Amino acid sequence: MAVRRLEPCVQLPLDEKTLKEVVTSARDWALMHGACMRSKTNYNEDILQFAPFALLPSVFPRKEFERAVNIQPILNELMHKVAHDHEFLTSSLKSTIEVDEFTGNMFKIYETVYNEGFAQQEVSLGLLRSDYMVHSYSDSVVKQVEINTIASSFGAISSKLTAFNRYVLRELGHEEKLENLPPNSALAGLCGGMIKAWKIYGNPKAVIMIVVEDVTYNICDQRFHEFYIRENHPDVGVLRRRYSDLKDQAKLTDNKALFVDGHEVAVVYYRTAYEPAQYGGAEGWKTRLLIERSKAIKCPSIHYHLAGTKKVQQALAHPGCLERFITDSAKVEAIREIFTGLYSLDFDEHGDRAVDMAIANPERYVLKPQREGGGNNVYGQKIREVVEKMKSSKERTAWILMERIAPPVQKNYIVRPGQNNLPEPTDVVSELGIFGVVIGDAEKILVNEQVGHMLRTKLSTVDEGGVAAGLGALDSPYLADL
Ligand code: ADP
Ligand code: MG
């Protein structure tokens, strides 16, 4: 089946003179508005470079954008309920935690705090991002790639990108097209979620703590949250700490208040702790347990983190499973429509069938372990090799098999730092992320909102398009009635 092709929002190619001028202006715009990152090859904390960007906003079907926006509160509710269903988390992760050490470590912390009674803090903050690609082969409906419950990134920079794309379209003389760029207030919405959680904690002297990696490349996207809060809510203190610093600095009081460097912490917002290396061994796991035991509101709490694993995503796609969490059949139907084929590799008839499917038609699937942050999945012929090798070992139960989504292709210019020549129009595909905020406890949901979006675009020939990994480019959706 042929992949669908979309017409770009502006006729391409642009003439060379126009292209040169607009690329130069766009680069400077990005630099001067902080659509930037630190260089991985020439790391220097004093210097920023612009993040790779798509020059034109990529065309996205309006109806599908709206579908993704409208379903976010339903997904927030679903994830919240999943995170609070002990039996479901335990049974869906049972086989995985036996073989996957990372998920196993998280689960041990979860069990410990569950048995202790989630300390004094029942409330969790979820800042989620549900990712989608339009599937060319199924009436062009958006299909969920995954949902992130930890360190959902690019809300901040993406909020700037709408203005960026407006600027570029204006420079190209297309004022009349601006109405097709939806407004994006992801930064305000995500920070609003943190402020609401801070208020729920109820101590005006307590701070929001942003926990980061030892070395941060995606610095603007993190700092914008911090600066937004300090600018708009100067009464709320923000503390920024490296995860590795917390092993010495974080303490619990007798009543389970979390103190870091003499500050009581109301909200812990992780921009790290989603991959094994970020824990740095046993000490790092102790830190995570200490924070989970505290009465600070965690984003995410350990049960939210587990609810965002790929294994849970796959379990939710199992027939009849959504009904456990969502009673309204119209909502269940709406969720089911955005799911694509997700298969477990457990040792049972379903898992055996998935193994056969993967070996017979590897190009139809993506093979995923329980990891976040990009670069861990297996694609194409390599799937056959990997599955063949592990099909008789327990290791296979740590993986899931997912139907490969075939997004529509269009032409755009991708601009990257360090590029000497003018870009050529290239075939690209886009992935949409929708941000959600959910706050609540096991009994009730207190806040449930859709707050904004991000679009990242990659060459149609590459498997993954992480912007931080240098493969994808920042973009905004240009909505079209297709
Ligand atoms: P991670 O947690 O590492 O971000 P993802 O599940 O989001 O893992 O996969 C990483 C990338 O791989 C996605 O951003 C997307 O570009 C690509 N990808 C993942 N799943 C699929 C799929 N089912 N079909 C097509 N591409 C996919
Ligand atoms: Mg992802």
Residue 184 has pLDDT above 90, yes or no: yes
Distance (Å, whole) CA 165 – CA 476: 7
Nearest ligand, CA 464 = 1
Q: How far is CA 114 from CA 110, 118, 247, in A?
A: 6, 5, 22
Q: Which atom of ligand 1 is found nearest the CA of 143?
A: 23
Nearest ligand, CA 363 = 1
The dihedral region occupied by 12, where left means phi > 0, alpha psi between -120 and 50, and beta the remainder, is: beta
Regarding the beta carbon of 8 and ligand 1, being less than 6 Å apart is answered no
pLDDT at site 388? 96
Nearest ligand, CA 465 = 1
Q: Which two tokens stand for residue 143?
A: 């299909």
pLDDT at site 297? 97
Distance (Å, whole) CA 468 – CA 302: 24
Tell me the CA–centroid distance for residue 474 and ligand 2, in Å: 14
Strands 207-212 vs 263-270: parallel, antiparallel or unpaired: parallel
Domain boundaries, the chain: 16-340+405-480, 342-404
Q: Which atom of ligand 1 is found nearest the CA of 403?
A: 23
Distance (Å, whole) CA 193 – CA 184: 16
Q: Mapping DSSP to helix (H, G, I), strand (E, B) and coil, where does residue 93 land? A: helix
pLDDT at site 373? 86
Tell me the CA–centroid distance for residue 82 and ligand 2, in Å: 19
* Cis status of the peptide bond prior to 13, with omega within 30 of 0: yes
Q: What is the DSSP letter of 176?
A: G
Q: Which two tokens stand for residue 201?
A: 């904690």
pLDDT tens sequence across 4-48: 999 999 999 999 999 999 999 999 999 999 999 999 999 999 999
Distance (Å, whole) CA 48 – CA 218: 10
Q: Mapping DSSP to helix (H, G, I), strand (E, B) and coil, where does residue 306 land? A: helix
User: pLDDT class for 3, splitting at 50, 70, 90?
Assistant: confident
Tell me the CA–centroid distance for residue 74 and ligand 1, in Å: 22
Tell me the CA–centroid distance for residue 145 and ligand 1, in Å: 6
Give me the helices (H) in 55-177, please: 62-83, 86-99, 101-116, 155-171
Residue 120 has pLDDT above 70, yes or no: no
pLDDT tens sequence across 330-354: 999 999 999 999 999 999 999 999 9
Q: In this structure, are residues 269 and 284 in contact, taking their beta carbons and an 8 Å threshold?
A: no
Q: Label residues 443-465 b or e (16+ Cβ within 10 Å = b).
A: eeeebbbbbbbbbbbbbbeeeeb
Among 68-77, 179-188, 368-377, whose mean pLDDT is lowest? 368-377
Q: Mapping DSSP to helix (H, G, I), strand (E, B) and coil, where does residue 56 land? A: coil
CB-based burial of residue 337 (10 Å sphere; 0-12 exposed, 13-18 middle, 19+ buried)? middle
Name the closest-CA residue to atom 16, ligand 1: 464
In sequence order, what are the residues at sequence separation of 6 or more whose Cβ sits closer than 8 angstroms to the Cβ of residue 11? none
Give me the helices (H) in 172-210, please: 186-201
pLDDT tens sequence across 438-475: 999 999 999 999 999 999 999 999 988 778 777 799 99
pLDDT at site 398? 93
Regarding the beta carbon of 292 and ligand 1, being less than 6 Å apart is answered no
Residue 91 has pLDDT above 80, yes or no: yes
Bridge partner list, 212: 242
Regarding the beta carbon of 258 and ligand 1, being less than 6 Å apart is answered no
* Cis status of the peptide bond prior to 300, with omega within 30 of 0: yes
The owner of tokens 């240098």 is: 470
pLDDT tens sequence across 211-264: 999 999 999 999 999 999 999 999 999 999 999 999 999 999 999 999 999 999
Tell me the CA–centroid distance for residue 148 and ligand 2, in Å: 7
Regarding the beta carbon of 464 and ligand 1, being less than 6 Å apart is answered yes
Which residue of 129, 146, 150 sits with most ligand 1 atoms within 8 Å of its CB, as the best mutation to test the pocket? Answer: 146
Residue 121 has pLDDT above 80, yes or no: no
CB-based burial of residue 144 (10 Å sphere; 0-12 exposed, 13-18 middle, 19+ buried)? buried
Give the catalytic positions in this structure. 129, 146, 148, 153, 310, 368, 372-373, 456
Bridge partner list, 435: 129, 452
Angle at 334 between CA 189 and CA 313, to 5 degrees: 75
Regarding the beta carbon of 376 and ligand 1, being less than 6 Å apart is answered yes
Question: What's the fold here for domain 342-404?
Answer: Dna Ligase; domain 1 (3.30.1490)
pLDDT tens sequence across 262-305: 999 999 999 999 999 999 999 999 999 999 999 999 999 999 99
Regarding the beta carbon of 374 and ligand 1, being less than 6 Å apart is answered yes
Q: Which atom of ligand 1 is found nearest the CA of 402?
A: 23
Tell me the CA–centroid distance for residue 69 and ligand 1, in Å: 20
Regarding the beta carbon of 431 and ligand 1, being less than 6 Å apart is answered yes
Bridge partner list, 342: 402
Bridge partner list, 5: 409
Higher local confidence (pLDDT), 45 or 482? 45
Q: How far is CA 265 from CA 96, 157, 196, 313, 468, in A?
A: 33, 26, 14, 31, 29
Strands 473-475 vs 207-212: parallel, antiparallel or unpaired: unpaired
Average pLDDT, the chain: 96
Q: Which two tokens stand for residue 338?
A: 């955005």
How far does the chain reach from its first CA to its final CA, in angstroms?
A: 19
Nearest ligand, CA 432 = 1
